[in-house]
């Protein structure tokens, strides 16, 4: 593929950015009463208002042209049809097959994968129903009350944030907990609240080789046996999700307790697979099915909607505009919904592990910015913290605000305040407050002209800070599925534009290898002579205690 900087659309966008940098959104809104309506579009229960962005019609047209020139439509088709688009691992990328309700086959290596997808869903449904109904008994005949889910990265974040976001759909009789960190504090804290007779452990690891997950499971198993259970009892209390069924059974999992996942499901794209078992246990299979349905509808939207009203395409090209032409290095996610507070961390992994790369598909070093730093937290908390920097620093930070219109157990007083803060922030970021307005506000204060000017300068808000606002009719299971799929496809499209492989993660591997080497030195199984002086000294100090 041609270098992106050599494309016609890139040159057009560079020229446009020089002119846009001199303009203010405040004036665009003042001069065009139709701007909000023009730049608002809806699909799958999500309304996107992208009018508060530093874009003109010319910019949008050029961005869509860039997407065309980078063969975004072809990349979307290639992914959905099972082409080997994860070229460095020689894998298809087919998380979309896990929510394919079209009735159409999805072929991998000449075989339709849909029968195995549905078989796994049936197994998840049967298991979920037997645990939720109390039919699945623990080793002493008691029903399961607590589920401890052990996994990390993609085998943890997706199930955790979806379960959290859908709290109002949770089965109150089952307490579902997640443990990821290898720091013993976490697993021991959770175990200290468990009764082994009523606890089910779900160990999720695609590779079945991840250090943190293996160690946490060993610790859980040792605790289980110390409580008085026997090896024979393990089958009733431990299940696993993995694509490496052999390793799972060798580890001691009963074969019938292993929920399989396919090789073509990437870790950070896997909540739709058996990795979603904790979601089923928490909210019930029918609600999980709705999560899949919402994602499926977003898949159809993405494949069939012209760029100008295609939600993932719009989010993706706006991100490219800020990253490559307007100097942005980060992108902030601001869910104004407490139950969606984990979403920034989820998208952080999804986006940064996918597009945090600087090598093109052909192995060349990129000469342009790629995936931004993704960060954020729930509103309104951030307003009393980092929003100061968004409003008044000179760092350009595009933001995605998110708000459900209806919430469970709606308390109108609180929800109106939450919404007013969300909208008020996007307004403040867009319009800002001029020096003259701030100076005028200080008219009745007893200040010298110099003092008044200095204070007005400090209070001046530049505005012109871009944001998208995503409104959900309500954040039900279906909309949650659509929301996650929306960001998945945004990442795919940006990766296509930047000519990256968004589906491998070689950058995490070296740390794993060196971590294991250091562990051998800490344990005395290896000497430290091959280490650099800094690492050797740190280990020595650690070992002195
Ligand atoms: O499911 P596994 O194989 O335990 O891997 C966990 C996570 O580790 C990573 O490979 C990163 O280290 C993620 O991509 C993955 O989701």
Instruction: Say what the pTM is.
Output: 0.97
Domain 107-289 has CATH 3.40.50.10490: yes
Model confidence pLDDT, tens digit, residues 402-417? 999 999 877 889 999 9
- Confirm or reject: Cβ of 205 under 6 Å from ligand 1: yes
Segment 147-163, tens digit of pLDDT: 999 999 999 999 999 99
Listed in sequence order, the residues at least 6 apart from 454 whose beta carbon sits closer than 8 Å to its beta carbon are none
Q: What is the pLDDT of residues 89-125, one digit of tens each?
A: 999 999 999 999 999 999 999 999 999 999 999 999 9
Q: What is the pLDDT of residue 408?
A: 82
Of all protein residues, whose CA lies closest to atom 4 belonging to ligand 1? 205
d(CA 17, CA 185) in angstroms, rounded, equals 50
Give all strands (DSSP E) within 142-288, no chain letters. 146-150, 175-179, 199-204, 238-242, 258-260
Residue 267: CB within 6 Å of ligand 1?
A: yes
* CB-ligand 1 contact for 154 (6 Å cutoff): yes
Cis omega (within 30 of 0) for bond into 380: yes
Determine whether the shortest distance from the Cβ of 152 to ligand 1 is under 6 A.
yes
Mind listing the pLDDT tens digit for each residue in 121-149? 999 999 999 999 999 999 999 999 999 99
Report residue 366's pLDDT band, with 50, 70 and 90 as the boundaries. very high
User: Average model confidence (pLDDT) for the chain?
Assistant: 97
Model pLDDT for residues 405-454, shown as the tens digit of each residue: 999 877 889 999 999 999 999 999 999 999 999 999 999 999 999 999 99
Please tell me the distance from the alpha carbon of residue 539 to that of residue 522, in angstroms, as a whole number: 6
pLDDT tens digits along 454-500:
999 999 999 999 999 999 999 999 999 999 999 999 999 999 999 99
Atom of ligand 1 nearest to the CA of 155: 1
List C-alpha distances in Å: 138 to 196, 224, 304, 372: 9, 12, 48, 47
Closest ligand 1 atom to the C-alpha of 508? 12
Ligand 1 closest atom vs CA 213? 4
Q: Is the CB of 158 under 6 A from ligand 1?
A: no
**Nearest protein CA to atom 9 of ligand 1, as residue:** 153
3-state SS, residue 402: strand
Ligand 1 centroid to 438 CA: how many Å?
51
Report the distance separating Cα 324 and Cα 366, nearest Å: 12
pLDDT at residue 23, rounded to an integer:
98
pLDDT value, residue 409: 73
Which class does domain 4-70+305-431+466-504 fall in?
alpha beta
- Residue-by-residue DSSP string for 10-77: HHHHHHHHHHHTT--HHHHHHH-TTHHHHTEEEETTEEEE--SSS--HHHHHHHHHHHHHTTHHHHHH
Q: Render pLDDT for 334-354 as a digit per residue (tens, 0 to 9).
A: 999 999 999 999 999 999 999
Sheet of strand 373-376: strand arrangement = 40-43, 46-49, 467-474, 399-406, 330-335, 373-376
Cβ–ligand 1 distance for 126 under 6 Å, the answer: no
Length of the chain: 545
**Ligand 1: centre distance to CA 195 (Å):** 29
| Residue nearest ligand 1's atom 8 by CA | 153
């Amino acid at each position: 593929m041609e270098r992106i900087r050599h494309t016609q659309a890139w040159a057009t966008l560079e020229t446009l950015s020089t002119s846009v940098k001199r303009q203010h959104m405040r004036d665009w809104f003042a001069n065009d009463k139709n701007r909000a309506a023009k730049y608002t579009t809806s699909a799958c229960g999500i309304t996107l208002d992208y009018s508060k962005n530093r874009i003109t019609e010319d910019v949008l047209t050029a961005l869509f042209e860039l997407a065309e020139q980078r063969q975004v439509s072809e990349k979307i088709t290639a992914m959905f049809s099972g082409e080997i688009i994860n070229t460095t691992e020689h894998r298809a990328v087919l998380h979309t097959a896990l929510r394919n309700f079209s009735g159409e086959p999805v072929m991998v290596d000449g075989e339709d994968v849909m029968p195995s997808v549905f078989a796994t869903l049936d197994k998840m449904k049967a298991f979920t129903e037997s645990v939720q109904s109390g039919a699945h008994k623990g080793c002493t005949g008691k029903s399961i009350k607590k589920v401890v889910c052990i996994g990390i990265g993609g085998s943890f974040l997706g199930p955790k944030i979806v379960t959290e976001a859908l709290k109002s759909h949770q089965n109150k009789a089952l307490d579902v907990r997640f443990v990821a960190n290898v720091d013993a504090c976490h697993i021991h804290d959770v175990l200290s609240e468990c009764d082994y007779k009523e606890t089910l452990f779900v160990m999720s690891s695609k590779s079945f080789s991840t250090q943190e997950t293996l160690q946490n499971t060993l610790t859980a198993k040792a605790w289980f046996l110390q409580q008085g259970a026997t090896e024979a009892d393990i089958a009733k209390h431990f299940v696993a999700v993995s694509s490496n069924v052999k390793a799972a059974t060798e580890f001691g999992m009963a074969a019938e307790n292993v929920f399989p996942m396919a090789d073509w499901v990437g870790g950070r794209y896997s909540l739709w697979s058996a990795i979603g078992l904790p979601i089923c246990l928490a909210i019930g299979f029918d609600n999980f099915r709705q999560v899949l349905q919402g994602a499926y509808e977003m898949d159809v939207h993405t494949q069939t909607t012209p760029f100008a009203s295609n939600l993932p395409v719009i989010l993706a090209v706006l991100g490219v505009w800020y990253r490559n032409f307007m100097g942005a290095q980060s992108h902030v996610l601001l869910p104004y919904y407490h139950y969606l507070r984990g979403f920034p961390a989820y998208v952080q992994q999804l986006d940064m592990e996918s597009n945090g790369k600087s090598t093109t598909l052909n192995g060349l070093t990129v000469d342009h910015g790629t995936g931004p730093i993704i960060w954020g937290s729930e509103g309104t908390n951030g307003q009393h913290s980092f929003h100061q920097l968004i409003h008044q620093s000179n760092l350009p930070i595009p933001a995605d605000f998110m708000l459900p219109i209806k919430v469970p157990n709606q308390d109108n007083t609180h929800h109106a305040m939450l919404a007013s803060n969300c909208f008020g922030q996007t307004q403040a970021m867009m319009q800002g407050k001029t020096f003259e307005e701030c100076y005028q506000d200080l008219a009745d204060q007893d200040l010298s002209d110099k003092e008044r000017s200095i204070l007005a300068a400090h209070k001046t808000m530049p505005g012109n800070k871009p944001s998208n606002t995503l409104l959900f009719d309500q954040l039900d299971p279906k909309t949650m599925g659509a929301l996650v799929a929306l960001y998945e496809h945004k990442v795919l499209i940006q990766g296509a534009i930047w000519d990256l492989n968004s589906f491998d993660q070689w950058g995490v591997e070296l740390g794993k290898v060196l971590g294991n080497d250091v562990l051998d030195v800490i344990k005395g199984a290896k000497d430290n002579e091959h280490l650099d002086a800094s690492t050797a000294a740190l280990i020595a100090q650690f070992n002195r205690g």
